[in-house]
Amino acid sequence: MKKDNLVIAKKKFYSRLIVGTGKYKNMRECARAINFSGAEIVTVAVRRVNITDKKKPLLMDYIDPKKITYLPNTAGCFNSDEALRTLRLAREIGGWKLVKLEVLGDKKNLLPEMIETLKSTEVLTKEGFKVMVYCNDDPLMCKRLENAGACAIMPLAAPIGSGLGIQNKINIRIIRKQTKLPLIIDAGLGQASDASIAMELGCDGVLVNTAIAKAKKPFEMAVAFKHAVIAGRKSYLSGRMNKTLMGNPSSPQKGTI
């Protein structure tokens, strides 16, 4: 499995689990959970997480950007202008070009606003950003994002923070079949088995925040997600058995007494 790397924008990662940095009790707990998860990429909400004010706790003091890849995202943005301004600021602050684009439609459902998302993707790719895009599980729109230059497609499993798990396996399968880009399930996972299901569908990775941060035992849940992603990936690569309607004895019938 060591050669089975996740490759995003030509950069290799061993772990296929990406984790968020929000909703934890404090930065220390966040850092410990990330360590237990084995994740090599963490999302950073540029508009919410302190990465510049040295008078307050800095994320960099707890999570070393030289060891963990920071993925600036546009959480809290509800139109293209806000998202573009946020990521341009991230590039100025830290030189980040690998980013996660997230443009939401409303504050209640937190579903992607796909027209603004597509518009933003087109602009950002022309400006040299490597854009990982949070989106609906719509195969047609995912193809348009790919054509617009996205470096990874990140359809939701369910609404952000809902913990409902994957609601539309058929669409995920279609998206997997039609794209060669990294396919990463983003949002809505609630437990480790959800991550295994995503990986068994052929996804290249999963992004998890609330399911770990709000678990009763976040460190244990981080470990559970780590192993679930590995198990799901191995299961997918192994090739599952064919399904049958009737029973099929496990023991050989030839030479039965």
pLDDT at 3: 76
Average pLDDT over residues 123-142: 95
Structure pTM? 0.87
Average pLDDT over residues 67-94: 90
Task: Please state which CATH class domain 6-238 belongs to.
Answer: alpha beta
Instruction: Give the confidence band of 253 by pLDDT, cuts at 50, 70, 90.
Output: low
For the chain, domain boundaries: 6-238
Residue 46 in tokens: 């540029």
- What is residue 70's three-state secondary structure? strand
Express each pLDDT in 23-56 by its tens digit.
888 888 999 999 999 999 999 887 666 666 667 7
Residues contacting residue 39 through CB under 8 Å, at least 6 positions apart: 15, 17, 18, 19, 68, 226
Spot the catalytic one: 66, 100, 216, 243: 100
100 a catalytic residue: yes
Backbone angles phi, psi at 227, to 5 degrees: -75, -30
Average confidence score pLDDT of the chain: 90
Neighbours of 237 (CB within 10 A): 12
